[in-house]
Amino acid sequence: MPIPDHSPDPARIQADLEALVALESPTEDAARVTAAIAAVETRLAEAGAETTRIPGRDGFGDHLAATLAGGREGAPVLILCHLDTVHPVGAFGPAPVRIEGRRLIGPGSVDMKGGVALALALVRTLAADPAPRRPVRLLFTSDEEVGSPTSRALIEAEAAPASHVLVVEPAREGGGVVTGRRGVGRYVVRAHGRPSHSGLDHPAGRSAIRTLARAILEIEAMTDYTRNVALNVGTVRGGTGANVVPEHAEALVDLRIDDPADAEEFDARIRALASGDEGVTLTVEGGINRPPYRRSPGIDSLLALAREAGAPLGLALPDVHTGGGGDSSFVAAMTPVLDGLGVAGGGAHTLGEWVDLDSLAPRGALLARLTDRVARM
Ligand SMILES: [Zn+2]
């Protein structure tokens, strides 16, 4: 019997990808995300995987766990995927999927329905080769794009007993894989003052906007590129009209950090912001959402295995440290993780989001071969 080379069928991957992208699934639309989860569940069951649905809560869609049983006991290998996208329904027009040359364009195509299609191919490929390997677990979540509020605990619980975690977020520039991510904090800063008519009784007013404006300058001044720390006040709103001293104002703040110690320090500094103005209160809500994820010896050896699997496929797999947070950030401190194992393409989170169809075959084979290799160790 020939040794299987674990090369999934790219036509099948493309068919799954088109079907999944057509099922538009913005995070906020629980019913649509759950419909996309259900489409994945059907395909997994057809391929012989055991599936478990985790009902959605707090307005988010269902999550889905699956097991591809192996012939050996031991720690599972976990494949991590999400089905939600950032695009409102209809953002790409009435027909969301378009093919132009060797590009498939559509909402969530590269981030990360392409990766989900690779995961489905992996299940079929390994099911067809019942070699003794440790169990392969797959987790498909519904709320990654908003920071995984209802899936984080599940991700951590699945990753804790796992030997390795493979994440199929998009490949980076030049086919790169992700071996580090900056940490992310999110905050809402609110000022509450006292309203008055600006013409009739200006002295009685206490402007929430003025106090918030001072706080914004303080926040922006915390940015420190030498420590790779960035703070961004991304939105501001407040006030009700030009002739009213504003009672309310609020700003949304994004914090990016590299070093776990910096995360604590900057989190504390943001929380310590206070109003210096009599009659106006300032409150801060939020915190560190995803901790920084840094390379470890476990991640280094996983990267070496991925390069071994990628070399015969013509994939060099440069390693990339990225500024974006992701679900891999939750697990990197406890289990070796490699991210960016999804498809190649570009324009994630934009209306031009696309997948390079020529990447389906090699990236599919990479994921299947790496998973097989790791699960046999
Ligand atoms: Zn993603």
Lowest mean pLDDT among 10-24, 40-54, 254-268: 254-268
**Which residue in 144, 136, 165 sits closest to 65, CA to CA?**
136
Distance 208 CA to ligand 1 centre (A): 37
pTM of the model: 0.87
Q: What architecture (CATH level 2) is domain 183-290?
A: 2-Layer Sandwich (3.30)
Mean pLDDT of 89-116: 97
Q: What percent of the chain clears pLDDT 90, i.e. is strictly above it?
A: 90
Distance 18 CA to ligand 1 centre (A): 17
Please check the confidence at residue 1 and state whether its pLDDT lies above 50: no
Distance 20 CA to ligand 1 centre (A): 14
Q: How far apart are CA 279 and CA 217, in angstroms?
A: 20
Mean pLDDT of 154-183: 96
Residues 6+ apart with CB under 8 A from 35: 23, 25
Distance 245 CA to ligand 1 centre (A): 42
At residue 123 the predicted structure's pLDDT band, cuts being 50, 70 and 90, is very high
CB atoms within 10 A of CB 149: 14
Per-residue confidence (pLDDT) for residue 151, from 0 to 100: 97
Distance 142 CA to ligand 1 centre (A): 11
Q: How far apart are CA 61 and CA 35, in angstroms?
A: 9
Please check the confidence at residue 190 and state whether its pLDDT lies above 70: yes
Distance 108 CA to ligand 1 centre (A): 8
Mean pLDDT of 312-320: 96
At residue 325 the predicted structure's pLDDT band, cuts being 50, 70 and 90, is confident
**Which residue in 315, 342, 311 sits closest to 326, CA to CA?**
342
Distance 183 CA to ligand 1 centre (A): 16
pLDDT in tens, 210-269: 999 999 999 999 999 999 999 999 999 999 999 999 999 999 999 999 988 899 999 999
Query: What is the CATH code for 10-181+292-376?
Result: 3.40.630.10
Mean pLDDT of 139-148: 95
Phi, psi of 42 (to 5 degrees): -60, -45
Domain ranges of the chain: 10-181+292-376, 183-290
Per-residue confidence (pLDDT) for residue 3, from 0 to 100: 57
Distance 72 CA to ligand 1 centre (A): 31
Distance 119 CA to ligand 1 centre (A): 14
Distance 82 CA to ligand 1 centre (A): 7
Please check the confidence at residue 204 and state whether its pLDDT lies above 80: yes
321 vs 166, higher pLDDT? 166
Which residues place a Cβ less than 5 A from the ion ligand 1? Answer: 111-112, 169
Per-residue confidence (pLDDT) for residue 131, from 0 to 100: 85
Strand order across the 98-100 sheet: 98-100, 103-105, 354-356, 345-346
Same fold yes or no, 10-181+292-376 and 183-290:
no
Per-residue confidence (pLDDT) for residue 11, from 0 to 100: 96
Cis previous bond, 377, omega within 30:
no
At residue 76 the predicted structure's pLDDT band, cuts being 50, 70 and 90, is very high
